[in-house]
């Protein structure tokens, strides 16, 4: 099973600033996924990151707000741009193995003040 | 598009009692179904998964789930809960293609009474 490391594990940021979250996987994977979990809510898929191409964003999420990089098969970053308190959430990186079996990182708990 | 409904937001169970958490899904093809658990401040841990075959699947920590196609359900069960089972439980559905991500239910918060 894949082991996923996310950095930072938590952060408190000022509104209007940006935060870049890193996700490192211990094996090569084709697709990486970024999810958001707002306080007390379920997980919502933000985007799918495929190495060598632009990320595919779900409805309600845009590249200008959540730019994603995928420079190689083991690493991805998600940036939360121009943050507001509404962006306070847990952001999780995920990879899917055979038959959609998904593994998750520990998440990044973001608080915007 | 697929969807998942977890009708119970909170469930309270006495320690040692049996547990059933409900999950209903909507998906046009054969679903790939999952149950995850999230303890406070922790990431998501996979409890069990269903792809095909035997409709009763066994997972970790003594959990099991039964897939019922006729009812579009994938309920999670445990015969005797422990205080450490208190957590948030998420049911999820995937297409199995490895490229679409998962769709999660809103979660059920499990409270264990001593």
Give the closest of A42, A98, A100 to B105, CB-based.
A42
Residue B110 CB partners (closer than 8 Å, separation 6+) = B11, B12, B13, B19, B21, B81, B85, B86, B87, B88, B89
Give the closest of A97, A98, A100 to B102, CB-based.
A100
Beta carbons of B106 and A42 less than 8 Å apart: yes
- Ordered per-residue pLDDT tens for chain A, 113 residues: 788 999 999 999 999 999 999 999 999 988 899 999 998 889 999 999 988 888 999 999 999 999 999 999 999 999 999 999 999 999 999 998 766 678 898 999 999 99
Contact at 8 Å (CB) between B109 and B12? Answer: no
B100 contacts on A by Cβ (under 8 Å): 48, 100
Instruction: Give DSSP secondary structure letters for A88-111.
Output: -EEEEEEEE-GGG-EEE---EEEE
Beta carbons of A100 and B103 less than 8 Å apart: no
Residues B81, B111: Cα–Cα separation, whole Å = 10
Span B83-95, mean pLDDT?
Answer: 94
3-state secondary structure of B4: strand
Beta carbons of B99 and A105 less than 8 Å apart: no
Split at pLDDT 50, 70, 90, the class of B64 is very high
Q: H helices within chain B, ranges in order?
A: none
């Amino acid at each position: 099973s894949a082991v996923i490391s996310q950095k930072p594990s938590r952060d408190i940021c000022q509104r209007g600033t940006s935060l870049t979250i890193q996700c490192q996987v211990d094996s090569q994977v084709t697709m990486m996924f970024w999810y958001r979990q707002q306080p007390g809510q379920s997980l919502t898929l933000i985007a799918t990151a495929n190495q060598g191409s632009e990320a595919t964003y779900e409805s309600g999420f845009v590249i200008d707000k959540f730019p994603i990089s995928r420079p190689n098969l083991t690493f991805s970053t998600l940036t939360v741009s121009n943050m507001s308190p509404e962006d306070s959430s847990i952001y999780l990186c995920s990879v899917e193995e055979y038959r959609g079996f998904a593994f998750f990182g520990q998440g990044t708990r973001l608080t915007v003040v | 598009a697929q969807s998942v409904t977890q009708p119970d937001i909170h469930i309270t169970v006495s320690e040692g009692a049996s547990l059933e958490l409900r999950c209903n899904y909507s998906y046009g093809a054969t679903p790939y179904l999952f149950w995850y658990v999230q303890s406070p401040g922790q990431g998501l841990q996979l409890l069990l998964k269903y792809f095909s075959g035997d409709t009763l699947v066994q997972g970790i920590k003594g959990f099991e789930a039964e897939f019922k196609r006729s009812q579009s359900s994938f309920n999670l069960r445990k015969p005797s809960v422990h205080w450490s089972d208190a957590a948030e439980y998420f049911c999820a559905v995937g297409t199995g293609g490895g490229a679409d991500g998962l769709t999660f239910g809103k979660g059920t918060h499990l409270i264990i009474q001593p």
